[in-house]
Chain A
Amino acid sequence: DVKVTQSSRYLVKRTGEKVFLECVQDMDHENMFWYRQDPGLGLRLIYFSYDVKMKEKGDIPEGYSVSREKKERFSLILESASTNQTSMYLCASSPHLGGESGANVLTFGAGSRLTVL
């Protein structure tokens, strides 16, 4: 089974703190993604990476950065946490090509619920 592991299920941080969210996948997938889930807004893409050291901005990258030094690991960094970054953060991975149409099925981790006070 494809497994995507997020290191922290629940975090509580203070405004201004630097926050690291770690994600590791064990299926040699090329693509990795960070989403946040908020009520009424669904899942919104923050950043994604299609290869080691490569990254692309998603729809809401402001206030976030990412790091992908190894294929299996994709980190989300909040340089200075703010209360509006309180959310559920979801990491996902996928192969480059898959499925009958050539598109990718995302496999998600269990999520990291971050509260910023």
Chain B
Amino acid sequence: DQQVKQNSPSLSVQEGRISILNCDYTNSMFDYFLWYKKYPAEGPTFLISISSIKDKNEDGRFTVFLNKSAKHLSLHIVPSQPGDSAVYFCAAAVASGTYKYIFGTGTRLKVLA
């Protein structure tokens, strides 16, 4: 049973436009969420996080929104740049729990110049 789902395997966006990557989760105990970016042949790098006490967190061009009632989070990238082309993973955990992060299957973003 996939507790964290990224239903879009891929997404193409024009440079300068907004990229929206979505993530759904089923476990209502999750209260901490992270987004990672991964380039080929490299390890994932941390992008941004959000805890369940917030519904929005911003860091430069990246904003994460959390809708707890819908068990849904999204990552917005504005404006999108060609260097943003990568695979994006969302991950969820119970903050006071067992240190186990559950990752989604990833969305491959391609930003077209």
Contacts and interface: CB of A to CB of B under 8 A. Distances in A.
A41 B36 CA distance: 15
B99 A31 contact: yes
Contact of B42 (A45, A101, A111): A111
A107 B46 contact: yes
Interface in A64-116: 90, 92, 94, 99-111, 113
B53 A101 contact: yes
Given A40-B105, A42-B104, A101 B51 contact: yes
B46 A99 contact: no
Contact of B32 (A9, A48, A50, A103): A103
Interface string B66-100: 00000000000000000000000101010110111
A42 B43 contact: no
B9 interface: yes
Given A103-B32, A103-B95, A42 B103 contact: yes
B89 A43 contact: yes
Contacts of A61: none
Nearest to A30: B99
B51 A42 contact: no
Q: Which of A40, A102, A106 is most buried by chain B, counting CB atoms within 10 A of its CB?
A: A106
Contacts of B93: 103-104
B103 A105 contact: no
B101 A90 contact: no
A50 B97 CA distance: 12
B103 A99 contact: no
A4 interface: yes
9 contacts: A42-B89, A92-B43, A102-B95, A102-B96, A103-B49, A105-B49, A106-B46, A106-B91, A111-B42
Ranked 7 nearest A-B pairs via Cβ? A108-B43, A101-B51, A103-B95, A103-B32, A42-B105, A43-B103, A101-B95
